[in-house]
Amino acid sequence: MIRIVQSQNAAEVESLLRPSAIRDRATEQKAARIVDRVRADGDRALKEYARTLDRWAGPLEVSRKQIEAGAKKAPAKVRAALSRAAAAIRDVASAQRPREWTLRVAPGVSVEQRVVPLERVGCYVPGGRYPLPSTVLMTAIPARVAGVPEVVMCSPSVDPVILAAAVEAGVDRVFRIGGAHAVAAMAYGTKTVPRVSKIVGPGNRWVSAAKALVASDCPIDFYAGPTEILIVADRGPASWIAADLIAQAEHDPDARAVFITSKAALAREVAEEVGQQMPASGPAAQSLWNHGGIIVTRSMDEAVALANEAAPEHLVVDTDARAERIRNAGAIFVGPWTAQVAGDYAIGSNHTLPTAGVAHVRGGLHTADFVKLVSVQRLTKAGLAAIGDTVTTLARAEGLEGHARSIDIRTADTRSARPRRSSRRPAARKVTR
C-alpha cells in the first residue's frame, strides 16, 4: 500500500517532495564518451551505436516514402485522434506565439521587435517501453507554428503511430536512432543527420545527461528527469485521485506520484483505492512503492505551501481559489474533471514540462522556445539629441570614455556641418562639339 505520512515528519515529507535523483556520475561519464565519439567520428560512431544500443542495422534515416507508407498502417481511429489532438495543440501554440511590434520611445527614437524562427529544430521522441506519438505532436507542432523551416526527429522507435504523428505534425526528416548518440548527432551534425539549432523533448537519464553535455554548444529546452504528479485536494472521489496517481506512475519506475490533503479519512480512502487499482507489478507499482506517498497536512494552506515548495511537473488542485495561489508548477489542472492525462493528449497545452524543481523558474515547452526575439533600434538626428546626454553621462559613469565620444563626435559634427560659401571660382566647363 502507498505510504501515508504526517506533514510534521519533515524527513518523510522531504523524501517525497524533493526532486528525484536524475544525474549520476557513471551515466554522465558513459554519455560523455558517446557524445565525444559521435562528435569526432560522425556516422561511423552513430552506426555502431545504432547496432549495439538501438539494435538496428538498417539505414539511419527513414525515407519520406517509408514515413508516409508507415503512417498509413496506423489504425484509422488513432490517426483521427492524432488529428484532433494536433488541432488543439496548434490552437494553443498559435496563441502563445510572441507578437511583433514597434514602439516610439521618444520623438525620433523607436524600437522594433522582430520574431525570427530558429532555422532547424531537433525533436527527441522516446521509444523505450511504449511508442509516444503524443510527444511528436507536442514537440514538433509548436516549432511549425513558430515558423521553423525544418523539423527533424530522432527516435529509437518508428512504430506506425509514431510515423503517423510525424506526418500530422509536419516533421520533415525522421532518424531511427535514440539515446545519447541521437542527441550528439543532432547537436553536432554528421553526414547523415543535420546539425540543429535546438534540441527539445524528454528522454531517459542517458538522453538527459547527453542534453546537459551538449547544451553549451546546442541549446536545449530543459534538463528533464522522471515524470511527477502532485495532487492537492480535501475532497474526492478517492477512486479518481488514486487513478490519477497510478496513471502518471506507469510512465517510469522512478516517477513521483504524491497526494497532499488535510483530511486524514480521505488519505486512507485514497491509499486503499491505490492498493485495489494498482497493478501487481510493473513501473506503476515500483514508482508508487519507492517514490509515491500521501502527506496529511494540518491545513490546506500548508498543503498549498508544500506544493509551491515542490514545484512539480504536473499539479492537480481541487479548486480555482487554490490554483490562484500556486506559483511554481509546470502545468496546473483544476477540478476533479480536469484529468491530468487529458493534458497529455488532447487539451492542447504542452505536456513537455520541467521536472526536478525546474518549475521554480520556467513553465513548459511553448512556441516562444522556437523563435528569437530580435530588437531593431532607429534614431533620427533629433532622437540622438534627445537621449545623447543620458548616454554620455552613464558611459562616463562606467569609465567608458570611448562610448561617450561615439555620441559626442556625432553631435559635434552635426553642429559644425553648416554650409560655407566658397571663394573659389568654378572651373570652366569643357564644351564638346
Enumerate the active-site residues.
Answer: 313-314
User: Of 24, 26, 50, whose CA–CA distance to 38 is shortest?
Assistant: 50
What is the longest distance spanned by two Cα atoms in the chain? 113
Question: Which residue type occupies 314?
Answer: H
Contact 369, 93 (CB under 8 A): no
**From CA 312, how far away is CA 227, in angstroms rounded?**
9
Phi, psi angle pair for 113, to nearest 5°? -105, 120
- 61: part of which helix (H) or strand (E)? strand 61-62
**From CA 32, how far away is CA 23, in angstroms rounded?**
13
Cell of 135: 510527444
Torsion (CA) 15, 17, 22, 25 in degrees, nearest 10 = -40
User: Of 303, 339, 309, whose CA–CA distance to 321 is shortest?
Assistant: 303
Phi, psi angle pair for 349, to nearest 5°? -70, 155
> Radius of gyration over alpha carbons of the chain, in Å?
28
**From CA 38, how far away is CA 49, in angstroms rounded?**
9
Tell me the pairing of strands 173-175 and 256-261: unpaired
Cell of 313: 511537473
**From CA 296, how far away is CA 267, in angstroms rounded?**
7
Cell of 197: 539549432
Cell of 255: 516517477
Written as one string, the DSSP assignment of 156-171 is: S---HHHHHHHHHHT-
**From CA 359, how far away is CA 340, in angstroms rounded?**
17
**From CA 284, how far away is CA 244, in angstroms rounded?**
11
User: In sequence order, what are the beta bridge partners of 4?
Assistant: 294
User: Of 354, 64, 359, whose CA–CA distance to 224 is shortest?
Assistant: 354
User: Which 8-state DSSP code applies to residue 234?
Assistant: S
Contact 123, 141 (CB under 8 A): no
How many residues does the structure list for the chain?
433
